Amino acid sequence: MSVAFDADLTACADLVRRADPARFQAAMAAPVAARPVLFPLYAFNVEAARAPWVTSEPMIAEMRLQWWVEALEEIRAGDAVRRHEVVSRLAQMLDAEGAALLIDLIEARRWDIERAPFEDEADFIRYIEATSGNLIRAVARALGPAEEDVLRDAGFALGLANWFRAIPALEAAGRKPLPDGRPEAVRDLAAEGLRRLARARAGRAGVSRVAAPALLPLWEAGPVLRAAMRRPGAVADGALDPAPARSRLTLMLRALSGRW
């Protein structure tokens, strides 16, 4: 795969830089050869995540998500693919299964349009696994071999950490982001996230070296989840972010060691 940054890849990288700084930093810490996979997939995730929020009209939000479903269906079927800076790049790296994972991610994002609370904890976990989890699985699949169980655990841990960090904004938008917002329930969720993060890291041998960059965005997950478990009130207060200097150092060390 070429690592040349053409106009499409540059546009993808710039979108991620502006809209998802954490994944941008992780991509920049990854080997250069991985970036043509990372930036388009992370740019797709930006587009999918923000589609339900850029309009107050549910029908328009549905149309935006459906556009992505149809583009991914073209990739999955091996048909001619519409011209788009993100889609054109995705078509170069996704196989049918990778496209299917992203279609399922889009379908999960319809919850963001409906704005109804999660039915229960199992419903919430399914959402996290279908969004963050499917993204990590698709990225790893495009990079190289990796065990699915490791990716699922890693995706859940990262998704939960990011969701905790987003809760103040979600509540400000009138959403009920957790099925149970009591401190003890938040603590239990954080503990489950840490358990699955530890299990994923125990299975590092099941992730090939070329697929490992898919897991680099986990570098802040542990500190965020530990903070949520120690101080559940910090979730609603938006006080989970690690110190920036320490965070950058952690990312550098994990990238250098390969021990995401």
DSSP string spanning 7-75? HHHHHHHHHHHHH-HHHHHHHHHS-GGGHHHHHHHHHHHHHHHHGGGS-S-HHHHHHHHHHHHHHHHHH
What does each of the 260 residues of the chain score in pLDDT, given as a tens digit?
Answer: 445 679 999 999 999 999 999 999 999 999 999 999 999 999 999 999 999 998 889 999 999 999 999 999 999 999 899 999 999 999 999 999 999 999 999 999 999 998 789 999 999 999 999 999 999 999 999 999 999 999 999 999 999 999 999 999 999 988 999 999 999 999 999 999 999 999 999 999 999 999 999 999 999 999 999 999 999 999 999 999 999 999 999 999 999 998 99
Return d(Cα 172, Cα 175) in angstroms, integer.
Answer: 7
Q: What is the pTM of this model?
A: 0.95
User: Which of 115, 132, 159 is the endpoint of a domain?
Assistant: 115
Residues 144 and 154 in one domain: yes
- 75 plus 130 within the same structural domain: no
Tokens at residue 41, please?
Answer: 């997939």
Domain that residue 47 falls in: 1-115
- For residue 146, give the 3-state DSSP assignment: strand
Do 243 and 206 have their domain in common?
yes
The partner residues of 207 in beta bridges, in order of sequence, read 146
* Domain C-terminal end among 54, 81, 115: 115
Q: What is the CA radius of gyration of the chain?
A: 18
